[in-house]
Amino acid sequence: MADAPSLAVPRLDDLALAGRRVLIRVDFNCPQDDAGRITDDTRIRAALPTIREVLAKGGRPILLSHLGRPKGRVVESLRLAPMGERLAELLECQVVSLPESTGPAVEAAIAAARPGAVVLLENVRFHVGDEQGDLQLAAQWARLGDVFVNDAFGAAHRDHASVCGLARLLPAAAGRLLEREITAFRRVLEVPERPLVAILGGAKVSDKLQVVDHLLDVVDALLVGGGMAYTFLVAQGVAVGRSLVQHDQVDAVRAALAKAAARGVQVLLPDDHVCAEAFEAGARPIPCGAAIPDGLLGLDIGPRTRERYAARIRTAQTLVWNGPMGVFEWPAFRAGTEAVGRAVAECPGYTVVGGGDSVAAVELLGLADRIRHISTGGGASLELLEAGTLPGIQALQAATGS
């Protein structure tokens, strides 16, 4: 992997902050209930170290974030004011939430904010140009600050104006959250202790084939579960009944298996299953061996596979997991994901869990505090494993000095 892209980026320490307006791209895309109340403030909490450090060093934090998918329109239910209220409670300082993110009124409000206050701009995606990477829009935001800090790993895979555009226009660096994410994935992709084991799950193999291809260049073993495993099994001539199979991907999977064999990468696939007659939450679980009968579909890995996977996981010195082993949301088909999750928690090596479903699984099972790094960006972590870098990281690497 000598030719792999490096993930090294400028750090917060590389920017002069005292007395400067510090634009910080955060990810406050928090879930809310029908009444607009925040139901999970994890993403706001994750931004606190960077905001507090900027304040402590005499900087004036000006925050940019998206919320939902307003598609360039003002959507009242997607305003960021509730995030600002929660941030003020957590920081115990004044947070000025503005109803817009560009223009003279915004500039005046920033100038009028007292020292020690935090300014939160309105949802950047109310501007259609954000998702289009519009540099003219980025320039309007750049007028509001002196330096830029990207602390939104969950948006770093997007070449958006508020993510990459600002890094191209201002002295820029990674915030502490983004820095932790980069450090974790560097340990996986650039300087792993071996053996390096990857676990991939999820429904569709098409979503993960490029990840598989990239990981086969670096891992010692690849464990496959979830719906994507059935396409792998079909590629090997194994009967999978009515399980989810992407037949148009079988040739690509065969090519991946050939690449693994040529590189000496061990690929573990399920050799027993928990099946059902229908894809329903109340379906009766039916244990099956290596081949699945015609009338059944696989919804989880079986006990023998769980033991094999757990044993391999425990040998890892570096491990990355993205995607559940089955339909873990339904208790009858959760045992495979639970077995893998507990093995990851017991693994003596450096463990990284990324992807929304994997993170949800370790949290559901109460294992989160036993994982070395839990990624805050599902899509970003997957694309980082796929490409080895992200647009937001590349933009920071090309940024000017402080």
Annotated catalytic, 379? yes
Q: Which two tokens stand for residue 375?
A: 């990624």
d(CA 397, CA 300) in angstroms, rounded, equals: 42
| H/E segment holding residue 348 | none
Q: Which two tokens stand for residue 260?
A: 């693994």
Catalytic residue selected from 21, 43, 125, 208: 43
As a whole number of Å, the end-to-end CA separation of the chain is: 31
Catalytic residue selected from 186, 254, 356, 370: 356
Catalytic residue selected from 57, 143, 308, 379: 379
Query: 3-state SS of the chain: helix, strand, coil percent to 5?
Result: 45, 15, 40
Annotated catalytic, 204? yes
* Residue matched to tokens 């699945």: 292
| H/E segment holding residue 134 | none
Q: Is beta strand 95-97 parallel, antiparallel or unpaired with respect to 118-120?
A: parallel
Helix (H, G, I), strand (E, B) or coil at 147: strand
Annotated catalytic, 84? no
Catalytic residue selected from 11, 186, 204, 314: 204
Q: CA quadruple 366, 372, 377, 383: dihedral positive or negative?
A: negative
* Residue matched to tokens 């379906």: 283
d(CA 292, CA 194) in angstroms, rounded, equals: 35
C-beta atoms surrounding 270 within 10 Å: 31
Q: Do 317 and 195 form a contact (C-beta atoms < 8 A)? A: yes
Geometric angle at alpha carbon 364, from 358 and 369, rounded to 5°: 80
Annotated catalytic, 356? yes
Residues designated catalytic: 43, 204, 356, 379
